Amino acid sequence: MIPFGIANAKENEQSQARDAASRTQRVAELEDNTEVAAGAANEAARERVEQAKEAAKAKVEQAKEAAKARQIALKQDRCEASKSKLTEKLPQLSQNVTTIKSVLDAKYAKVTAIYESGKLSAGNYTELDQIILEKQKVAEAAIEGLDPSTITIDCNNNGLGVQLDSYRASLNEVKAALKDYRTALVEMVSALNAAADKAEAEESKPANDTDTAGGETTNTTDGEAN
What's the pLDDT tens digit per position in 21-58?
A: 777 777 677 767 766 666 666 777 777 767 766 776 67
pLDDT score recorded for residue 134: 95
Tell me how far apart the alpha carbons of residues 57 and 64 are, in angstroms, rounded to a whole number: 11
Q: Select, from the ranges 9-13, 42-46, 100-104, 155-159, the one with the highest average predicted confidence (pLDDT).
A: 100-104
pTM listed for this prediction: 0.56
Residue 88, in any domain of the structure: yes
Residue 175, in any domain of the structure: yes
Residue 89, in any domain of the structure: yes
Q: Cβ distance 62 to 70 under 8 Å?
A: no
Query: Can you list the positions of beta strands (E) in the chain?
Result: 210-213, 216-219
Q: Cβ distance 185 to 111 under 8 Å?
A: yes
Residue 219, in any domain of the structure: no
Residue 215, in any domain of the structure: no
What's the pLDDT tens digit per position in 170-195?
A: 899 999 999 999 999 999 999 988 88
Residue 164, in any domain of the structure: yes
What's the pLDDT tens digit per position in 205-222?
A: 765 544 444 444 434 344
Radius of gyration of the chain (CA): 51
End-to-end CA distance of the chain: 186
- Percent share of the chain, pLDDT over 90: 25
Least reliable range by pLDDT among 116-120, 198-202, 213-217: 213-217
Q: Cβ distance 96 to 102 under 8 Å?
A: no
Tell me how far apart the alpha carbons of residues 224 and 218 are, in angstroms, rounded to a whole number: 7
- Residues 112-138 have a mean pLDDT of 90
Task: Quote the number of domains for the chain.
Answer: 1
Residue 172, in any domain of the structure: yes
Residue 98: give the domain boundaries.
Answer: 82-203
Residue 220, in any domain of the structure: no
Does the pLDDT value for residue 196 go beyond 90? no
Q: The domain spanning residue 161 has which CATH number?
A: 1.20.140
Does the pLDDT value for residue 135 go beyond 50? yes
Which one is predicted more confidently, 119 or 127? 127
123 Cβ contact list (under 8 Å, min separation 6): 195
- Residues 64-71 have a mean pLDDT of 56
Q: Cβ distance 175 to 97 under 8 Å?
A: yes
